[in-house]
Amino acid sequence: MTDIRHTSVAPTRTQLLAPGGEIDSHRHDDHQIVYAGRGVLAVTTSAGSWVAPATRAIWVPAGIVHAHRAHGELELHLVGLLAADNPLGLDVPTVLAVGPLLRELIIAYTRAPDDDSPERTRLRAVLLDQLRASPQQPLYLPTPASPPLRALCEILQAAPADSRTLPELGRQVGASGRTLSRLFRSDLGMTFPQWRTQLRLQHALVLLAEKEPVTAVAHRCGWSSASAFIDVFRRTFGHTPGSHPTG
């Protein structure tokens, strides 16, 4: 069994990662806010994956084993919070919306000297206030446990543009469309179309971070047209993929 790196204190710092760069599986006794000021960040646990561009941050609770991966040039900002200090009341990883003020607070806090000065204490208090007010975002791709569902999800993760229906995919993995539909709801808490949309949006974020044109992203992720992709992207993120911040 591979040893999981463990640190009692979650660091507060800024770190640069090259495209494809990784931080291997590890855990902290503290909570952590993970934010990509530039590029796109993927956080993976045994339960699933979360992908966050510069308009989102990821809350990682204390004790959760997780790994990071960079898509595009990643400017990673890490904010450690004591286990007793949980402004969100969350015990599972969660994506949070990051507005302009919270973005600047996170960047300032992770770049400032890590001391107990009154200025830093005030900065931290405002940062926590902004975190409490941050809307949670459903940008989560859960990992299935059921063998046929896992096989199906692996097929689509390798080819997000695969447009086959659930019964058609079921024939490849040896399960009926009805059985797979039930497993999506019971195991993953979402429908098959919802899961596939989440998968395609995560893949789109990665491709945009790699500077792929919007039309190419739409095609590679399985949308019928660029306009259909733009519509779903705008409803999810609040802006078009053409104006999406990638650093």
Confidence of residue 140 (pLDDT cuts 50, 70, 90): confident
pLDDT, tens digit (0-9, with 9 covering 90-100), for 49-63: 998 888 889 999 999
**Predicted pLDDT at 138:** 67
Q: How far apart are CA 206 and CA 83, in angstroms?
A: 31
Helix axes 100-111, 118-132, angle to 10 degrees: 150
Q: Residue 105: pLDDT above 60? A: yes
pTM of the model: 0.83
Write out the H or E segment, with its range, that includes residue 76.
strand 66-81
Amino acid residing at 111: R
Domains of the chain by start residue, with CATH: 5-137 (2.60.120.810), 144-243 (1.10.10.60)
Compute φ and ψ for 79, nearest 5 degrees. -120, 115
Q: What is the mean pLDDT of the chain?
A: 90
pLDDT, tens digit (0-9, with 9 covering 90-100), for 11-32: 899 999 999 999 999 999 999 9
**Predicted pLDDT at 113:** 83
